[in-house]
Chain A
Amino acid sequence: NAGVTQTPKFRVLKTGQSMTLLCAQDMNHEYMYWYRQDPGMGLRLIHYSVGEGTTAKGEVPDGYNVSRLKKQNFLLGLESAAPSQTSVYFCASSHLGHRGRHGSSYNEQFFGPGTRLTVL
């Protein structure tokens, strides 16, 4: 199993250009997520999906769009890139939350290797 894969690994864009980041998972997970990670800050949720054909906004959705046309793929689009979108982008996936042996509900997230995006 490849787990969670992301393409591309690196990209440099000029302000105003558009691009799509692709995330793929082969674990048959229902949930998928897009995060961005900036220095000194925790991972921040951009958008997420609880199943094929459904998406929802996370904490920082402005300037991004997503699509989940197939269960295994989750695409993140930047329509008009801005320097503030320079970041490392991580995709993650998980099963539905379920009860662990101590009664807690949890959903371990598995992450892709990340995409380093620079917007000039």
Chain B
Amino acid sequence: RKEVEQDPGPFNVPEGATVAFNCTYSNSASQSFFWYRQDCRKEPKLLMSVYSSGNEDGRFTAQLNRASQYISLLIRDSKLSDSATYLCVVNFPLRGNKLVFGAGTILRVKS
């Protein structure tokens, strides 16, 4: 089993749609969770951290389910500019607290 697993997609959605991605992780001791965004041929950039209580940033909502060991990202009112690859990132405390990146989920928003 991969340490951090994501559906690679692509998710093809029309503008204005709501779309959700899930990500599962294998280490129950993980404490830090993030969503990064990566545009084509660019570097990853932090989109948002994921907190235990869930958190929202504008059209983006992130949630954590520790019992089932997954995190989710919900995007409301999708924009063309949301088209990118979304990377799920989890820390692994027993490996020097390093971050492990998922392979990413591709989102394509079409007009």
| Docked pose: A48 CA to B31 CA in angstroms | 20
Q: How many A-B residue pairs have CB under 8 A?
A: 59
Asked whether A102 lies within 8 Å of B45 as measured between CB atoms, the reply is no
Shortest B53–chain A CB gap in Å is 7
Asked whether A40 lies within 8 Å of B43 as measured between CB atoms, the reply is no
Q: Determine the chain B residues whose CB is within 8 A of the CB of A111 once the complex forms.
A: 43-45
Helix, strand, loop or mixed for chain A's interface?
A: loop
Given A40-B103, A41-B103, A108-B46 contact (CB < 8 Å): yes
Please list 17 pairs of residues, one from A and one from B, whose beta carbons are closer than 8 Å in the complex, sorted by A's number.
Answer: A35-B101, A40-B8, A42-B4, A42-B103, A43-B87, A44-B101, A56-B96, A102-B52, A104-B32, A105-B97, A106-B49, A106-B91, A109-B46, A109-B99, A111-B44, A111-B45, A114-B42
Given A40-B8, A104-B31, A45-B98 contact (CB < 8 Å): yes
Residues 33-76 of B, flagged 1 when their CB comes within 8 A of A and 0 if not, give 01000000111111001011100000000000000000000000
- Contacts A42-B103, A106-B49, A111-B44 supplied; 4 other A-B pairs, CB < 8 Å: A90-B43, A106-B34, A106-B91, A108-B49
CB of B84 closer than 8 Å to a CB of A? no
CB of A97 closer than 8 Å to a CB of B? yes
For chain A, residues 82 to 107, give those with C-beta under 8 angstroms from any C-beta of chain B.
90, 97, 100, 102, 104-107
Shortest A75–chain B CB gap in Å is 18
CB of A77 closer than 8 Å to a CB of B? no
Number of interface residues of B (CB under 8 A): 26
Q: Which A residues contact B (CB, under 8 angstroms)? A: 35, 40-45, 48, 56, 58, 90, 97, 100, 102, 104-109, 111-114
Given A48-B98, A58-B98, A113-B42 contact (CB < 8 Å): yes
Given A40-B8, A42-B100, A100-B49, A105-B44 contact (CB < 8 Å): no
Asked whether B87 lies within 8 Å of A42 as measured between CB atoms, the reply is yes
Q: What are the 7 closest A-B residue pairs judged by CB atoms, nearest first?
A: A42-B101, A111-B43, A102-B51, A43-B101, A106-B32, A42-B103, A108-B46
Shortest A40–chain B CB gap in Å is 6
Asked whether B31 lies within 8 Å of A105 as measured between CB atoms, the reply is yes
Asked whether A97 lies within 8 Å of B97 as measured between CB atoms, the reply is yes
